[in-house]
Amino acid sequence: MSATIGAGGDIAHIAPDLIDRLAGLSDASPLLALRARRAEIRTRTQAAHDALLAPRRPGLFPAAERAAVAERIAALAGNDALAAHYRGLAVGADARPALVAHAERVTRSPRESRPEHLRALEAAGLDAHGIVALSQLIALVNYQVRLLAGLRALAGGGAEASSGPLPAGAPVPVDADIGFTTDVLDWKPWLPPVVLEDATEEQRLALAVTPSNIAIGAYSLVLAHEPESLLHRTPLFNGIMYAPRGLPRAEREFATAVESVLNGCVYCASVHARRFVELTGGRDAVDLLFAQGISGQDDPRRQAIAQAAARLTATPAALTAEDVAALRRAGVEDGEILDLVLAVAIFAWANRLMLSLGEAVR
Protein backbone atom coordinates (compact mmCIF):
# COMPACT_ATOMS: atom_id res chain seq x y z
CA MET A 1 0.00 0.00 0.00
CA SER A 2 2.94 2.31 -0.53
CA ALA A 3 3.62 4.94 -3.12
CA THR A 4 6.72 4.64 -5.27
CA ILE A 5 8.69 7.88 -5.10
CA GLY A 6 11.46 8.70 -7.54
CA ALA A 7 14.68 10.61 -6.96
CA GLY A 8 14.07 14.01 -5.42
CA GLY A 9 10.67 12.94 -4.09
CA ASP A 10 8.92 12.88 -7.49
CA ILE A 11 5.89 10.65 -7.88
CA ALA A 12 6.83 7.63 -10.00
CA HIS A 13 3.70 5.49 -9.58
CA ILE A 14 0.25 5.81 -8.02
CA ALA A 15 -0.17 2.87 -5.69
CA PRO A 16 -3.40 1.53 -4.15
CA ASP A 17 -4.73 4.18 -1.81
CA LEU A 18 -5.77 3.79 1.84
CA ILE A 19 -8.33 6.60 1.66
CA ASP A 20 -10.09 5.02 -1.34
CA ARG A 21 -10.34 1.72 0.50
CA LEU A 22 -11.60 3.15 3.80
CA ALA A 23 -14.08 5.40 1.97
CA GLY A 24 -15.39 2.38 0.04
CA LEU A 25 -14.73 3.95 -3.37
CA SER A 26 -15.18 1.49 -6.21
CA ASP A 27 -13.93 1.88 -9.77
CA ALA A 28 -17.38 3.13 -10.74
CA SER A 29 -17.57 5.75 -7.99
CA PRO A 30 -17.84 9.37 -9.17
CA LEU A 31 -15.76 10.31 -6.14
CA LEU A 32 -12.88 8.20 -7.41
CA ALA A 33 -12.93 10.29 -10.59
CA LEU A 34 -13.00 13.48 -8.50
CA ARG A 35 -10.01 12.35 -6.48
CA ALA A 36 -8.18 11.43 -9.70
CA ARG A 37 -8.34 15.09 -10.75
CA ARG A 38 -5.97 15.78 -7.86
CA ALA A 39 -3.64 12.85 -8.50
CA GLU A 40 -0.58 14.29 -6.78
CA ILE A 41 -2.60 15.18 -3.68
CA ARG A 42 -3.89 11.60 -3.58
CA THR A 43 -0.40 10.15 -3.93
CA ARG A 44 1.26 12.52 -1.47
CA THR A 45 -1.42 11.70 1.10
CA GLN A 46 -0.51 8.03 0.89
CA ALA A 47 3.23 8.76 0.83
CA ALA A 48 3.02 10.90 3.98
CA HIS A 49 1.17 8.05 5.73
CA ASP A 50 3.85 5.56 4.65
CA ALA A 51 6.71 7.83 5.73
CA LEU A 52 5.24 8.17 9.23
CA LEU A 53 3.97 4.61 9.76
CA ALA A 54 6.77 2.71 8.01
CA PRO A 55 9.73 5.07 8.46
CA ARG A 56 13.18 4.14 7.27
CA ARG A 57 14.60 5.66 10.44
CA PRO A 58 12.05 5.49 13.27
CA GLY A 59 14.58 6.64 15.86
CA LEU A 60 13.19 6.76 19.39
CA PHE A 61 9.58 6.46 18.18
CA PRO A 62 9.08 2.89 16.84
CA ALA A 63 6.65 2.20 14.01
CA ALA A 64 4.34 -0.02 16.07
CA GLU A 65 4.08 2.62 18.80
CA ARG A 66 3.28 5.23 16.14
CA ALA A 67 0.41 3.04 14.96
CA ALA A 68 -0.87 2.64 18.52
CA VAL A 69 -0.96 6.45 18.94
CA ALA A 70 -2.68 6.82 15.55
CA GLU A 71 -5.31 4.27 16.54
CA ARG A 72 -6.16 6.30 19.64
CA ILE A 73 -6.53 9.52 17.61
CA ALA A 74 -8.79 7.85 15.03
CA ALA A 75 -10.92 6.27 17.78
CA LEU A 76 -11.19 9.63 19.53
CA ALA A 77 -12.50 11.13 16.30
CA GLY A 78 -15.07 8.35 15.92
CA ASN A 79 -13.66 6.79 12.75
CA ASP A 80 -13.78 3.07 13.47
CA ALA A 81 -12.44 1.98 10.07
CA LEU A 82 -9.36 4.20 10.36
CA ALA A 83 -8.83 3.06 13.95
CA ALA A 84 -8.98 -0.58 12.82
CA HIS A 85 -6.39 0.11 10.12
CA TYR A 86 -3.97 1.48 12.69
CA ARG A 87 -4.77 -1.27 15.18
CA GLY A 88 -3.65 -3.76 12.54
CA LEU A 89 -0.36 -1.90 12.09
CA ALA A 90 0.21 -1.69 15.86
CA VAL A 91 0.15 -5.51 16.19
CA GLY A 92 -0.64 -5.28 19.90
CA ALA A 93 1.93 -2.63 20.77
CA ASP A 94 1.17 -0.04 23.45
CA ALA A 95 2.16 3.61 23.39
CA ARG A 96 3.79 5.49 26.24
CA PRO A 97 1.11 7.27 28.32
CA ALA A 98 2.77 10.67 27.86
CA LEU A 99 2.58 10.31 24.08
CA VAL A 100 -1.08 9.27 24.17
CA ALA A 101 -1.96 12.16 26.51
CA HIS A 102 -0.23 14.62 24.18
CA ALA A 103 -1.98 13.18 21.11
CA GLU A 104 -5.38 13.46 22.81
CA ARG A 105 -4.78 17.06 23.88
CA VAL A 106 -3.56 18.24 20.48
CA THR A 107 -6.44 16.44 18.76
CA ARG A 108 -9.17 17.77 21.05
CA SER A 109 -7.96 21.32 21.66
CA PRO A 110 -4.70 22.24 19.95
CA ARG A 111 -4.86 25.80 21.30
CA GLU A 112 -4.14 24.40 24.78
CA SER A 113 -0.62 23.36 23.76
CA ARG A 114 2.24 24.74 25.86
CA PRO A 115 6.05 24.46 25.66
CA GLU A 116 6.11 22.38 28.85
CA HIS A 117 4.20 19.67 27.00
CA LEU A 118 7.26 19.14 24.78
CA ARG A 119 9.43 18.92 27.87
CA ALA A 120 7.14 16.11 29.10
CA LEU A 121 7.71 14.27 25.82
CA GLU A 122 11.45 14.65 26.28
CA ALA A 123 11.11 13.22 29.79
CA ALA A 124 9.23 10.27 28.23
CA GLY A 125 12.23 9.53 26.00
CA LEU A 126 11.66 11.45 22.76
CA ASP A 127 14.26 13.66 21.11
CA ALA A 128 13.54 16.45 18.61
CA HIS A 129 13.17 13.92 15.77
CA GLY A 130 10.66 11.90 17.79
CA ILE A 131 8.68 14.95 18.94
CA VAL A 132 8.31 16.23 15.38
CA ALA A 133 7.40 12.73 14.15
CA LEU A 134 4.70 12.55 16.84
CA SER A 135 3.44 16.02 15.89
CA GLN A 136 3.26 15.08 12.21
CA LEU A 137 1.50 11.81 13.07
CA ILE A 138 -1.17 13.53 15.17
CA ALA A 139 -1.72 16.04 12.38
CA LEU A 140 -1.82 13.38 9.65
CA VAL A 141 -4.56 11.37 11.36
CA ASN A 142 -6.63 14.51 11.97
CA TYR A 143 -6.25 15.26 8.24
CA GLN A 144 -7.32 11.72 7.29
CA VAL A 145 -10.37 11.86 9.58
CA ARG A 146 -11.63 15.03 7.89
CA LEU A 147 -10.90 13.85 4.37
CA LEU A 148 -12.80 10.63 5.02
CA ALA A 149 -15.71 12.52 6.62
CA GLY A 150 -15.91 14.82 3.61
CA LEU A 151 -15.90 11.94 1.15
CA ARG A 152 -18.60 10.16 3.12
CA ALA A 153 -20.82 13.27 3.08
CA LEU A 154 -20.19 13.78 -0.64
CA ALA A 155 -21.30 10.20 -1.21
CA GLY A 156 -24.57 10.94 0.57
CA GLY A 157 -23.63 9.55 3.96
CA GLY A 158 -22.83 10.93 7.38
CA ALA A 159 -24.86 11.20 10.55
CA GLU A 160 -28.57 10.44 10.19
CA ALA A 161 -29.38 13.99 11.27
CA SER A 162 -27.56 17.22 11.92
CA SER A 163 -25.73 17.13 15.24
CA GLY A 164 -27.21 20.45 16.28
CA PRO A 165 -26.22 24.08 15.91
CA LEU A 166 -22.70 24.98 15.00
CA PRO A 167 -20.64 27.17 17.34
CA ALA A 168 -21.76 30.74 16.70
CA GLY A 169 -18.88 32.67 18.20
CA ALA A 170 -15.18 32.71 17.46
CA PRO A 171 -13.22 31.07 20.27
CA VAL A 172 -10.30 33.17 21.46
CA PRO A 173 -6.84 32.01 22.50
CA VAL A 174 -6.24 31.41 26.20
CA ASP A 175 -4.35 34.72 26.39
CA ALA A 176 -7.17 37.22 25.86
CA ASP A 177 -4.65 39.97 25.07
CA ILE A 178 -3.86 38.26 21.74
CA GLY A 179 -6.66 38.74 19.24
CA PHE A 180 -7.19 37.62 15.68
CA THR A 181 -5.61 39.98 13.19
CA THR A 182 -4.48 40.34 9.60
CA ASP A 183 -1.20 41.86 10.77
CA VAL A 184 2.03 40.07 9.88
CA LEU A 185 3.08 37.93 12.86
CA ASP A 186 6.18 35.92 13.67
CA TRP A 187 6.24 32.34 14.90
CA LYS A 188 8.48 31.34 17.82
CA PRO A 189 9.40 27.62 17.96
CA TRP A 190 9.57 25.63 21.18
CA LEU A 191 12.22 23.29 19.75
CA PRO A 192 15.60 24.45 18.42
CA PRO A 193 15.34 24.59 14.61
CA VAL A 194 17.75 22.63 12.44
CA VAL A 195 20.73 24.79 11.52
CA LEU A 196 20.56 24.96 7.73
CA GLU A 197 24.32 24.96 7.30
CA ASP A 198 24.51 21.72 9.31
CA ALA A 199 21.50 20.01 7.67
CA THR A 200 21.87 16.53 6.25
CA GLU A 201 21.30 15.82 2.58
CA GLU A 202 17.92 14.29 3.43
CA GLN A 203 16.92 17.39 5.38
CA ARG A 204 18.02 19.69 2.57
CA LEU A 205 15.99 17.66 0.09
CA ALA A 206 12.90 17.93 2.30
CA LEU A 207 13.46 21.69 2.59
CA ALA A 208 13.75 22.21 -1.17
CA VAL A 209 10.02 22.98 -1.23
CA THR A 210 8.58 25.23 1.48
CA PRO A 211 4.97 26.05 2.49
CA SER A 212 3.59 28.68 0.10
CA ASN A 213 7.00 28.57 -1.63
CA ILE A 214 8.40 31.28 0.65
CA ALA A 215 11.89 31.44 2.18
CA ILE A 216 12.97 28.71 4.60
CA GLY A 217 11.90 29.88 8.05
CA ALA A 218 11.92 28.58 11.61
CA TYR A 219 8.76 26.53 11.06
CA SER A 220 10.26 24.53 8.19
CA LEU A 221 13.55 24.15 10.04
CA VAL A 222 11.77 22.68 13.07
CA LEU A 223 9.87 20.24 10.86
CA ALA A 224 13.18 19.26 9.22
CA HIS A 225 14.06 17.32 12.37
CA GLU A 226 11.87 14.61 10.78
CA PRO A 227 12.51 14.88 7.03
CA GLU A 228 10.82 11.67 5.85
CA SER A 229 7.28 13.00 6.19
CA LEU A 230 8.24 16.62 5.48
CA LEU A 231 9.34 15.57 1.99
CA HIS A 232 5.68 14.83 1.17
CA ARG A 233 3.77 17.03 3.60
CA THR A 234 4.92 20.36 2.10
CA PRO A 235 4.10 19.48 -1.55
CA LEU A 236 0.77 18.14 -0.27
CA PHE A 237 0.01 21.46 1.44
CA ASN A 238 0.97 23.49 -1.62
CA GLY A 239 -0.95 21.19 -3.95
CA ILE A 240 -4.14 21.54 -1.93
CA MET A 241 -3.96 25.29 -1.48
CA TYR A 242 -2.69 26.27 -4.94
CA ALA A 243 -3.96 23.58 -7.32
CA PRO A 244 -5.37 25.08 -10.53
CA ARG A 245 -9.09 25.31 -11.24
CA GLY A 246 -11.65 24.00 -8.77
CA LEU A 247 -12.55 26.04 -5.69
CA PRO A 248 -11.33 29.63 -6.16
CA ARG A 249 -8.17 30.40 -4.23
CA ALA A 250 -9.85 33.14 -2.17
CA GLU A 251 -12.48 30.68 -0.94
CA ARG A 252 -9.81 28.15 0.08
CA GLU A 253 -8.13 30.93 2.05
CA PHE A 254 -11.43 31.92 3.66
CA ALA A 255 -12.24 28.34 4.69
CA THR A 256 -8.82 27.91 6.28
CA ALA A 257 -9.20 31.24 8.08
CA VAL A 258 -12.53 29.98 9.48
CA GLU A 259 -10.84 26.81 10.68
CA SER A 260 -7.88 28.66 12.16
CA VAL A 261 -10.23 30.91 14.14
CA LEU A 262 -12.16 27.90 15.46
CA ASN A 263 -8.92 26.16 16.44
CA GLY A 264 -7.50 29.33 17.99
CA CYS A 265 -4.49 29.45 15.67
CA VAL A 266 -3.71 33.17 15.66
CA TYR A 267 -0.75 32.80 13.29
CA CYS A 268 -2.57 30.79 10.62
CA ALA A 269 -5.64 33.02 10.89
CA SER A 270 -3.51 36.11 10.29
CA VAL A 271 -1.78 34.63 7.22
CA HIS A 272 -4.85 33.26 5.48
CA ALA A 273 -7.29 36.00 6.36
CA ARG A 274 -4.75 38.48 5.00
CA ARG A 275 -4.43 36.47 1.78
CA PHE A 276 -8.20 36.46 1.42
CA VAL A 277 -8.24 40.25 1.75
CA GLU A 278 -5.44 40.57 -0.81
CA LEU A 279 -7.23 38.33 -3.29
CA THR A 280 -10.69 39.90 -2.94
CA GLY A 281 -9.82 43.50 -2.20
CA GLY A 282 -12.30 43.60 0.71
CA ARG A 283 -12.11 42.78 4.39
CA ASP A 284 -15.74 42.87 5.55
CA ALA A 285 -15.97 39.04 5.57
CA VAL A 286 -12.80 38.78 7.66
CA ASP A 287 -13.92 41.46 10.11
CA LEU A 288 -17.21 39.60 10.56
CA LEU A 289 -15.35 36.32 11.07
CA PHE A 290 -13.08 37.79 13.73
CA ALA A 291 -15.97 39.53 15.49
CA GLN A 292 -18.82 37.02 15.15
CA GLY A 293 -17.29 33.69 14.21
CA ILE A 294 -19.04 31.79 11.43
CA SER A 295 -22.34 33.61 11.68
CA GLY A 296 -23.37 36.71 9.83
CA GLN A 297 -21.70 36.36 6.42
CA ASP A 298 -23.81 38.36 3.96
CA ASP A 299 -22.88 36.25 0.92
CA PRO A 300 -24.88 32.96 0.78
CA ARG A 301 -22.07 31.00 -0.89
CA ARG A 302 -19.52 32.22 1.63
CA GLN A 303 -21.88 31.45 4.50
CA ALA A 304 -22.36 27.88 3.23
CA ILE A 305 -18.59 27.46 2.98
CA ALA A 306 -18.13 28.82 6.51
CA GLN A 307 -20.78 26.45 7.90
CA ALA A 308 -19.30 23.37 6.23
CA ALA A 309 -15.74 24.32 7.18
CA ALA A 310 -16.79 24.83 10.79
CA ARG A 311 -18.63 21.51 10.96
CA LEU A 312 -15.68 19.64 9.47
CA THR A 313 -13.28 21.43 11.82
CA ALA A 314 -15.15 20.93 15.06
CA THR A 315 -17.12 17.71 14.57
CA PRO A 316 -16.03 15.93 11.37
CA ALA A 317 -18.11 12.83 12.07
CA ALA A 318 -21.22 15.04 12.06
CA LEU A 319 -20.71 16.38 8.53
CA THR A 320 -23.72 15.17 6.53
CA ALA A 321 -25.16 15.03 3.06
CA GLU A 322 -27.34 17.91 4.24
CA ASP A 323 -24.22 20.08 4.58
CA VAL A 324 -23.16 19.07 1.07
CA ALA A 325 -26.63 19.87 -0.25
CA ALA A 326 -26.41 23.35 1.28
CA LEU A 327 -23.14 23.91 -0.55
CA ARG A 328 -24.64 22.73 -3.83
CA ARG A 329 -27.63 25.06 -3.38
CA ALA A 330 -25.15 27.91 -2.91
CA GLY A 331 -23.54 27.06 -6.25
CA VAL A 332 -20.53 25.07 -5.04
CA GLU A 333 -19.90 22.17 -7.43
CA ASP A 334 -18.74 18.73 -6.26
CA GLY A 335 -15.15 19.20 -7.41
CA GLU A 336 -15.08 22.48 -5.50
CA ILE A 337 -16.55 20.76 -2.43
CA LEU A 338 -13.73 18.23 -2.52
CA ASP A 339 -11.23 21.11 -2.70
CA LEU A 340 -12.97 22.64 0.33
CA VAL A 341 -12.73 19.35 2.23
CA LEU A 342 -9.04 19.06 1.35
CA ALA A 343 -8.33 22.63 2.47
CA VAL A 344 -10.02 22.07 5.83
CA ALA A 345 -8.29 18.71 6.22
CA ILE A 346 -4.81 20.11 5.53
CA PHE A 347 -5.40 22.89 8.05
CA ALA A 348 -6.43 20.36 10.67
CA TRP A 349 -2.80 19.35 10.05
CA ALA A 350 -1.25 22.84 9.77
CA ASN A 351 -2.99 24.33 12.81
CA ARG A 352 -1.89 21.44 14.99
CA LEU A 353 1.74 21.72 13.94
CA MET A 354 1.79 25.48 14.46
CA LEU A 355 0.05 25.33 17.85
CA SER A 356 1.88 22.34 19.33
CA LEU A 357 5.43 23.23 18.23
CA GLY A 358 5.51 26.99 18.81
CA GLU A 359 3.52 30.18 19.24
CA ALA A 360 2.59 33.35 17.38
CA VAL A 361 4.34 36.56 18.43
CA ARG A 362 3.80 40.12 17.28
The pLDDT of residue 177: 59
Q: Give, for all 362 residues of the chain, the pLDDT tens digit.
A: 444 444 444 434 444 589 999 999 988 889 999 999 999 999 999 999 999 999 999 999 999 999 999 999 999 999 999 999 999 999 999 999 999 999 999 999 999 999 999 999 999 999 999 999 999 999 999 999 999 999 999 999 765 444 445 544 444 444 455 589 999 999 999 999 999 999 999 999 999 988 876 789 999 999 999 999 999 999 999 999 999 999 999 999 999 999 999 999 999 999 999 999 999 999 999 998 988 888 778 899 999 999 999 999 999 998 999 999 999 999 999 999 999 999 999 999 999 999 999 999 98
Q: Cα separation of 18 and 86, whole Å?
A: 11
DSSP label at residue 78: T
The answer to the question of residue 3 being in a domain is no
CB atoms within 10 A of CB 76: 17
Q: Which residues in the chain belong to E strands, given as ranges?
A: 4-5, 11-13, 186-189, 358-361
The answer to the question of residue 322 being in a domain is yes
Residue-number span of the structural domain to which 161 is assigned: 13-362
The answer to the question of residue 6 being in a domain is no
SS3 at position 13: strand
Q: Cα separation of 115 and 355, whole Å?
A: 10
Output phi, psi for 332, to 5 deg.
Answer: -90, 120
The answer to the question of residue 5 being in a domain is no
The pLDDT of residue 5: 45
The answer to the question of residue 8 being in a domain is no
With CA atoms as reference, report the closest residue to 155 among 316, 309, 307, 334: 334
The pLDDT of residue 100: 98
SS3 at position 174: coil
Domain count, the chain: 1
The answer to the question of residue 242 being in a domain is yes
Q: Cα separation of 3 and 5, whole Å?
A: 6
The answer to the question of residue 314 being in a domain is yes
The answer to the question of residue 2 being in a domain is no
- CATH code of the domain containing 109: 1.20.1290.10
The pLDDT of residue 362: 85
Read off the pTM.
Answer: 0.92
The pLDDT of residue 205: 97
SS3 at position 106: helix
Contacts of 169 (CB under 8 A, 6+ apart): 292, 293, 295
